[in-house]
Amino acid sequence: MTEQKMIPPNTLMAIGAVGGLVCVYLAYFLAPANPIFVFFGALGAVFAAVWGADAVRRIASYGLGTGVPSIGLLALGMGIIAVLFSLALDISAGAPIVAFIVSCAIGAIIGIISVKILGMTIPIMVSATTEIAGAGALLILGLGIVIAGSLDYAIFVKEVVTTGFIMLIYIAGGMAMLHPHNSNLGPDETQDRLLALSAEKAGIAVILAGFASVAGMGAIIVTVLIGLIIWYYFFSKYYDFVKRDAYKVVDTGLLPTEEEMQ
Amino acid sequence: MIDIVGLIAPNILWILAIVIGGTLISISVHFISVGGAPAAMAQATGIGTGTVMLAAGAGIAGIIAAGAVMDLNQDLGVVLGAGGVGAMVMLAATMIVGTWIYAYGVGVMPVSAKVKYDPITKYRQDLYVSQGTEGHGIPTVAFVSSLIGGLLGGFGAALAYYALMKVGTYAYAGVTPLAVHDLNLVGVVAAFTIGFFFINSVIPSYNIVGTIEGFHDPKFKRWPKAAVASFLASIPLGIVAVIAVGALALVGGL
């Protein structure tokens, strides 16, 4: 395997945290003017998913012993609790940043407990659980604002939680974070391939959230289109990376007919 | 900004109940016989999936059962019983169908590699373990152990659900209390309980490093560590949950 150029964790953290928060805020402030702008929330969710996938990649490469999905679902579990809590505080524009901070705090507490009490020996345990918790909260905020068109607690609960779309965000968003490492892990794992897969999965989550949106026909069309573009672009990119990293890609052809089996 | 102190003060008891629920969930994971990916290939004893998937599946089944019953009868014992039985039914169904597949599909017999004699049936185990495997299938002791795990996990999930519903339906000063049928309340409480359940089933699965056979497994002795860890982790989660659910009741629903 030739040396791959890696994106350093801090750059990705900056892109994910700052990009995610800025996009969620853009959606938050622009949506009242025109609901089409909720698509910024979708972009924020994609940034957060890519950041989270990289954090999962770093922590899970130490070998958790429990499978990669556990940590992805942990991230979204912490995110859900932090997001609903901060929206319930009724602090209007402060909610997204408070959700992010509370989620990071819960992540840090769980990381510290895992290291100190359960005696886990992974050196980046605390920082990585903090990161995935933050990414999980941003993912839920981003996709949630796409569905509800607002971050008002009453509207969010009615349109996202009571309708059950919260579980769609939970699993589809969790997929974007946990699936890339789960399917790419191994000695030939490369970061760019993994991140492309994460963005592709996030694209699918954006399409689904777009369909579920109540922010108006314009918002649905724009979000679904953006999701499709993200999905198509990163799927082709991922396929290119697969072809680059594989020794050889061969066509297996169709299933043999009954005569050929004889 | 909402009145946080006014929300927490009348609900201290329910925060404690949520914390106990989290600890029960954590202990329950140690009883459930999971083998992870090796078990899916019939190379380890237990159900062939991850701890988190299985515990969460059982927990969510418990939450659904508890939630359905809570709508009709708000007695704590009835809700807890429904949660425990719901989780046990889910696990039993998974295990019995899994056993059929191991026996008739894969062609292996249920056998434990951790003990020489099954503590319940007293059948000899070690002779029947295929070479190069850590046992396979779901032997009687693992089945019974998982049912105990389901019961505890269901109790934990139902207790957390019940506590949050009580927080939501409490009569705060100056507002009409919410009904247990309030869909928004049920939605928020269910979303919280599921997130809470996932967190509290990941912590013990780190403790057992992903696989365990049941209460006869040597790893089972580690449960106090996970119980302490979940107890501590549940305290901030319980406070946060009570504030979010209480906020819904404070404004008298949506």
- Tell me if B50 and A88 make a contact (CB, 8 A cut-off): no
pLDDT at B252: 63
At B100, the amino acid letter reads W
At A176, the amino acid letter reads A
User: CA quadruple A124, A81, B187, A154: dihedral positive or negative?
Assistant: negative
pLDDT at A140: 92
Contact list, A73 vs chain B (CB under 8 Å): 52, 56, 198, 202
Whether residue A257 lies inside any domain: the answer is no
Closest CA to A109 of B203, B245, B52, B194: B203
Summarize pLDDT for A188-236 with one digit per residue, the tens.
888 888 889 999 999 999 999 998 888 888 889 999 999 999 999 999 9
Contact list, B199 vs chain A (CB under 8 Å): 74, 77-78, 81, 110
| Residue among A67, A119, A153 whose CB faces B36 most closely | A67
Q: Judge whether B40 is closer than 8 Å to chain A, CB to CB.
A: no
Q: How distant, in Å, are the alpha carbons of A65, A70, A78, A136, B235 from that of A108?
A: 20, 17, 11, 13, 14
pLDDT at A4: 61
Q: What's the number of CA atoms in the CB half-sphere (13 Å) around residue B51?
A: 37
Would you say residue A63 has pLDDT above 90?
no
A69 or A54, higher pLDDT? A54
Q: Judge whether A89 is closer than 8 Å to chain B, CB to CB.
A: yes
SS3 B44: strand
> Radius of gyration (Cα) for chain A, nearest Å?
19
Whether residue A200 lies inside any domain: the answer is yes
Whether residue A262 lies inside any domain: the answer is no
Question: pLDDT band at A254, cuts 50/70/90?
Answer: confident
Concatenated DSSP letters of B107-170: ----EESS-SB-TTT--B-GGGSPTTSBEES--HHHHHHHHHHHHHHHHHHHHHHHHHHHHHHS
SS3 B64: helix
CA distance B142 to B117: 13
Whether residue A173 lies inside any domain: the answer is yes
* Helix and strand totals (H; E) in chain B: 8, 2
Number of domains in chain A: 1
CA distance B194 to A129: 19
Summarize pLDDT for A144-203 with one digit per residue, the tens.
999 988 888 888 888 888 888 998 898 888 889 888 888 888 778 888 888 899 999 999
Contact list, B191 vs chain A (CB under 8 Å): 80, 84, 161, 166-167
Summarize pLDDT for A93-112 with one digit per residue, the tens.
888 899 999 999 999 999 99
Whether residue A170 lies inside any domain: the answer is yes
pTM metric for this prediction: 0.89
pLDDT at A189: 81
Q: Judge whether B6 is closer than 8 Å to chain A, CB to CB.
A: no
Q: Judge whether A162 is closer than 8 Å to chain B, CB to CB.
A: yes
Q: Judge whether A88 is closer than 8 Å to chain B, CB to CB.
A: yes
| Residue among B188, B205, B209 whose CB faces A84 most closely | B188
Q: Judge whether B171 is closer than 8 Å to chain A, CB to CB.
A: no
Convert B73-105 to b/e letters by CB count within 10 Å (16 or more is b). Answer: eeeeebbbbbbbbbbbbbbeebbeebbeebeee
- Tell me if B202 and A85 make a contact (CB, 8 A cut-off): no
pLDDT at A119: 80
Question: pLDDT band at A1, cuts 50/70/90?
Answer: very low
CA distance A160 to A165: 5
Determine the distance in angstroms separating the CA of A85 from the nearest CA of chain B, rounded to an integer.
5
Whether residue A50 lies inside any domain: the answer is yes
pLDDT at B254: 65
Q: What integer is the mean pLDDT of A55-66?
A: 81
Contact list, B34 vs chain A (CB under 8 Å): none
Contact list, B254 vs chain A (CB under 8 Å): 154, 157-158
Closest CA to B54 of B227, B212, B249: B212
What is this model's ipTM? 0.86
Q: Judge whether B219 is closer than 8 Å to chain A, CB to CB.
A: no
> In residues, how long is chain A?
262
pLDDT at B253: 63
Strand partners, B212: B34
Count of C-beta atoms within a 10 Å radius of residue B121: 12
Percentage, residues of chain A above pLDDT 90: 29
B142, with CB counted inside 10 A (0-12, 13-18, 19+), is buried
CA distance B223 to A95: 37
Question: pLDDT band at A2, cuts 50/70/90?
Answer: very low
Determine the distance in angstroms separating the CA of B51 from the nearest CA of chain A, rounded to an integer.
7
Domain that holds residue B89: 4-250
Number of domains in chain B: 1
Q: Could you write out the three-class secondary structure of A153-200?
A: HHHHHHHHHCCCHHHHHHHHHHHHHHHHHHHHCCCCCCHHHHHHHHHH
* Maximum separation of any 2 CA atoms in chain A, in Å: 72
Interface with chain B: mutation pick from A64, A84, A147, highest number of B CBs within 10 Å: A84
pLDDT at B100: 92
pLDDT in tens, chain B (254 residues): 777 777 787 888 899 999 999 999 999 989 988 888 888 888 888 888 887 788 778 888 899 999 899 888 888 899 999 999 999 999 999 999 989 998 898 888 888 888 888 888 888 888 888 888 888 888 899 999 999 999 999 999 999 999 999 888 887 777 777 888 888 888 889 888 888 888 888 888 888 887 888 888 888 888 888 899 999 999 999 998 998 888 887 776 66
pLDDT at B203: 87
Q: Judge whether B163 is closer than 8 Å to chain A, CB to CB.
A: no
Whether residue A3 lies inside any domain: the answer is no
Domain that holds residue A64: 9-249
